Amino acid sequence: MTMSAVRVMRAIGQDEFGGPEVLKVVEVARPEPGVAEVLVRVRATSVNPTDVWHRSSGGLAGRIVPLGWDVSGVVEAVGIGVTTLAVGDEVFGMPRHPAPAGTYAEYVTAPARHLVRKPAGLTHAQAAAVPLVGMTTWQAVVDTAAVRPGQRVLVHAAAGGVGHLAVQIAKARGAHVIGTARAAKHDFVRSLGADQVVDYTVEDFEKVLEPVDVVVDPVGGEYGPRSLEVLRPGGILVSLASPAEQYLAEIAAGRGLRAGFMAVEADQAGLRELAALLGAGRLRPEVSVELPLERVAEAHGLSQTGRTSGKIVLTV
């Protein structure tokens, strides 16, 4: 085996900010696991809005970083001190977030405790669709809003990547779940367990809904102030769209409500909870589009339309 075969891998890179066309396949050095890290042979990753944001403008840091945070694959090597995973384990997770992870590649290193074993009944494509949106949803619905049985939960963009898992997790917590979606996606949202669906193209949700306890909003913009109108006293709006949504906190406080932006972070405990739901069949990720890694520009273009249901997955 040649040195290049051992140390070089394909990955997705870019030389400038811009549209999907700036993304290209490059050859880079294959990483090696450090202390408490593992090397994962990537089988699948997925596209998230944060990938689009970083590609087009560099995110909060304003610089080019290796794209991709979701990963499902097989442990290829383990670093010093790893005791929880072994070579050959099938794993999935969201390593390093919010720091760059670079899962748009054939291999990626990750802290061992940022991954968990993949449920046997899940394909790598399905598993890769879960971590970032699943952890975002878990931290919004469970850790932040502490949804309880009998509460009313409104999920915006309920057919989308975050939304379709938020509906299911809120339902698993015993909530009465309402989703907003286009009419063509109502059957899909109901199949996830939603008790009610509002067509946002023809109805103003804040005018037609009874008060709710929790709003999960991955949309942002005008949806934030409008969502405050439908919250009952003591309710909470968890915004997932942008740090700019933090302005809602002061407005909400003046009305006896809670609101603000929530950033997702790596957390193995929450990831284990998601794995348990996936393994029990109580959480079903929807993979709407599956493309090979080299068609990443096409995948980003589809993501930007905002019209796909579920997740767009890249296979490696």
Residue 5 pLDDT greater than 60, yes or no: no
pTM: 0.94
Q: What pLDDT sits at residue 60?
A: 87
Q: What pLDDT sits at residue 126?
A: 98
> Considering the chain, what is the average pLDDT of its residues?
96
Structural contact between residues 102 and 108, judged by C-beta atoms closer than 8 angstroms = yes
Structural contact between residues 67 and 102, judged by C-beta atoms closer than 8 angstroms = yes
Q: In degrees, to the nearest 5, what angle opens at C-alpha 266 toward C-alphas 214 and 146?
A: 20
CA–CA separation, 298 and 253 (whole Å)? 43
> 119 has which bridge partners?
none
Structural contact between residues 14 and 65, judged by C-beta atoms closer than 8 angstroms = no
pLDDT tens string 10-25? 999 999 999 999 999 9
Q: What is the mean pLDDT of residues 67-72?
A: 98
Residue 6 banded pLDDT, cuts 50, 70, 90: low
Residue 311 pLDDT greater than 70, yes or no: yes
Class of residue 16 by CB neighbours under 10 A (exposed 0-12, middle 13-18, buried 19+): exposed
Give the domains, in start order, of the chain with CATH numbers: 3-129+285-315 (3.90.180.10), 133-261 (3.40.50.720)
Residue 1 banded pLDDT, cuts 50, 70, 90: very low
Class of residue 305 by CB neighbours under 10 A (exposed 0-12, middle 13-18, buried 19+): exposed
Residue 208 banded pLDDT, cuts 50, 70, 90: very high
* Closest residue by Cα to residue 54 from 68, 75, 44, 40: 68
Q: What residue has token string 């809904």? A: 209
pLDDT tens string 158-207? 999 999 999 999 999 999 999 999 999 999 999 999 999 999 999 999 99
CA–CA separation, 258 and 252 (whole Å)? 5
Residue 7 banded pLDDT, cuts 50, 70, 90: confident
Strand locations in the chain (E): 8-13, 24-29, 37-47, 71-78, 90-93, 107-111, 115-117, 152-155, 176-180, 196-198, 212-217, 231-239, 258-261, 287-292, 311-315
Within 10 angstroms of residue 62's Cβ, the number of other Cβ atoms is 9
Residue 306 banded pLDDT, cuts 50, 70, 90: confident
Residue 57 pLDDT greater than 50, yes or no: yes
Q: What is the mean pLDDT of residues 115-133?
A: 97
CA–CA separation, 78 and 86 (whole Å)? 7
